[in-house]
Amino acid sequence: MVNKPTMELRWDPTLREWILVSNIRRFRPWQPEGFCPFCPGNPETGYGWRALILENKYPMLMENPPEPGLHWFYKTSKSVGKCYVVVETPEHNINDISDLSVDQIEYVLNMVISKVKEEMSRDYAHYFLWFRNKGKEIGVSLTHPHSQVYVLPFIPNRVSRELESARDYYSEKGRCLFCDILNAELKDSVRIIYDNDHWVSFMPFYSHWPFEVHIYPRRHVQLITELTAEEVRSLAYVLKVSLCGLNHVFSGKSMPYIMVMHQAPLKGSYPFYHMHIEVYGVMRDEGKMKYAAGMETGGGNFTYDSVPEENAQRLRNSVLRNCISVTK
């Protein structure tokens, strides 16, 4: 087999979804132990910044990608798009963004919002996925606080399923599915983690992961760019409190998690959709990881080894005990 640089999208015709394929990461140069590319003073970062959005040096998507290989049977497509790294603070030794000030989180949110606005006009930009992987259990190799952005030429699978559900629900009932979920959670109230004037953070009735937290804006908005300055500020606070709660559920340990922002696609109109943030805290108990194994990965359905109402209470207690007094 020839070992040549390849970067393309491959279509899985059985599950009808794209796989992002690239072997260029393997051509990555060796870096000395302890070197941090996100710390101030590197050629890429420089000095005098509060947060940075950098192009990922080893991306899965590029603005001018190589032509995809043509296959006689399978479908392929160009890996056109962008991959960014959001360096959330110049400080290297911070455990999580819940340890940043509300001002700093707000600053980062506004940087992401500017990036969405900038990417929106690009032809290839169909979706802006902002996500954050935290903890070595999730496979994070660089500990400097950062998140990532994938600007995609397609709508990612989970969002596309949500869009379909929301569209169907709307045509059937004339209401937003997410607004109704929010109302149901508020009415039940046992799974609410924290809420303020603009946002509600809760552990959904249908949680997949042990400490799953969804953060919904009370207002029916489709894109992060539509939030008011006050809503952004308020989101910074809810994020800080919710993540702080997660990090304190288990004594002295911090929670490994995946966070993702679900918003409407950048092209077209989706008035029935409602943006939100999802956080998947993956520890189910002190020192015990929940793995997506046979049933979850092989079968595609999650098993939940407790009930969300119990874990929501543990998380709410953690928030009350450790996080509410944090400076606003």
Q: Smallest distance from the beta carbon of 36 to Zn ion, in angstroms?
A: 3
Which tokens is 324 given?
């509410």
144 contributes a contact to Fe ion by CB under 5 A: no
Q: Which residues are paired to 272 by β-bridges? A: none
Which is closer to Fe ion, CB of 82 or CB of 262?
262
d(CA 135, CA 256): 5
d(CA 115, CA 127): 12
262 contributes a contact to Fe ion by CB under 5 A: yes
274 contributes a contact to Fe ion by CB under 5 A: no
Q: Hey, which residues between 168 and 187 contact Zn ion (CB under 5 A)?
A: 176, 178-179
Q: Are the C-beta atoms of 207 and 304 separated by less than 8 Å?
A: yes
Q: Which does 39 bind (CB under 5 to 8 A by kind): Fe ion, Zn ion, none?
A: Zn ion
Active site residue 248: no
The count of residues interacting with Zn ion (CB under 5 A) is 10
- Applying CB under 5 A, among 57, 92, 136, 321 the residue interacting with Zn ion is 92
Task: Please provide the distance, in angstroms rounded to a whole number, between the alpha carbons at the two ends of the chain.
Answer: 58
Q: Smallest distance from the beta carbon of 179 to Zn ion, in angstroms?
A: 3
Q: Are the C-beta atoms of 316 and 193 separated by less than 8 Å?
A: yes
Q: Which does 176 bind (CB under 5 to 8 A by kind): Fe ion, Zn ion, none?
A: Zn ion
Check 126, 144, 146, 262 and give the catalytic one. Answer: 146
The C-alpha angle 309, 313, 318, rounded to 5 degrees, equals: 150
- Applying CB under 5 A, among 7, 9, 38, 262 the residue interacting with Zn ion is 38
Q: Which does 321 bind (CB under 5 to 8 A by kind): Zn ion, Fe ion, none?
A: none
Q: Are the C-beta atoms of 211 and 249 separated by less than 8 Å?
A: yes
Q: Which does 144 bind (CB under 5 to 8 A by kind): Fe ion, Zn ion, none?
A: Zn ion
The C-alpha angle 227, 233, 238, rounded to 5 degrees, equals: 100
Q: Is 264 exposed, middle or buried (0-12, 13-18, 19+ CB in 10 A)?
A: buried
Positions in the binding site for Zn ion (CB under 5 A) = 36, 38-39, 92, 144, 176, 178-179, 220, 274
Give the active site residues: 146
